[in-house]
């Protein structure tokens, strides 16, 4: 990106950056730093973006949680960790988790677990169980739910 000379130019460019997709404050600050803005200018630009509703942390968190769960099939643990990594407040994280209905969460989890279980080509039951558990835990599902589901899959269809 070419070096930006004025705050006005930076505001124009960052408005497009925020309009393209939801952004969190950290992403915007990082982008402004690459545009060689100093702290005072960054604060001024952030205030403008929030006032003009280009930047909204609650909206970002809700959109992030919905998208990651529906598209990438992430569990709540991973979504919470990723939001914390982006310095989202606990209030906004809890608000975002309400975007995922318990029915949708359970349906997605069961479909993902069964698909993964059947795709694992492993003769040893222990290795198959471990691979399936590791996969679901990496996806961010709660360990007690994962272990119960794997026991159920193992008992029903081996």
In this structure, what DSSP letter does residue 2 have? P
pLDDT tens across the length of the chain (158 residues) = 445 568 888 899 999 999 999 999 999 999 999 988 889 999 999 999 999 999 999 999 999 999 999 999 999 999 999 999 999 999 999 999 999 999 999 999 999 999 999 998 988 888 999 999 999 999 999 999 999 999 999 887 54
Per the CB < 8 A criterion, the answer to whether 76 and 142 are in contact is: yes
CA atoms lying within 13 Å on the CB side of residue 123: 0
User: What is the reported pLDDT for 36?
Assistant: 87
Phi/psi at 56 (nearest 5 deg)? -145, 110
pLDDT at 93: 96
Query: Could you give the residue ranges of the DSSP H alpha helices within the chain?
Result: 7-20, 25-34, 39-51, 57-70, 76-85, 90-97, 102-119, 125-138, 143-156
Sign of CA dihedral 32, 35, 36, 37: negative
Residue 19 CA to residue 109 CA, distance in Å, equals: 32
pLDDT the model gives residue 5: 65
Q: Is the dihedral of CA 95, 100, 103, 108 positive or negative?
A: negative
């Amino acid at each position: 990106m070419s070096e930006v000379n004025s705050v006005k130019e930076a505001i124009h460019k960052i408005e497009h950056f925020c309009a393209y997709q939801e952004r969190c404050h950290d992403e915007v600050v990082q982008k402004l730093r690459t545009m060689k803005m100093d702290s005072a200018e960054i604060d001024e630009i952030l205030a403008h973006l929030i006032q003009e509703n280009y930047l909204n942390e609650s909206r970002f968190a809700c959109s992030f949680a919905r998208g990651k769960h529906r598209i990438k099939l992430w569990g709540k643990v991973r979504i919470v960790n990723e939001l914390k990594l982006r310095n989202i407040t606990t209030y906004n994280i809890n608000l975002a988790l309400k975007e995922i209905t318990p029915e949708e969460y359970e349906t997605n989890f069961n479909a993902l677990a069964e698909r993964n279980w059947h795709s694992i080509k492993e003769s040893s039951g222990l290795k198959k169980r471990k691979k399936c558990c590791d996969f679901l835990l990496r996806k961010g599902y709660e360990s007690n739910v994962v272990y119960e589901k794997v026991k159920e899959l193992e008992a029903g269809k081996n």
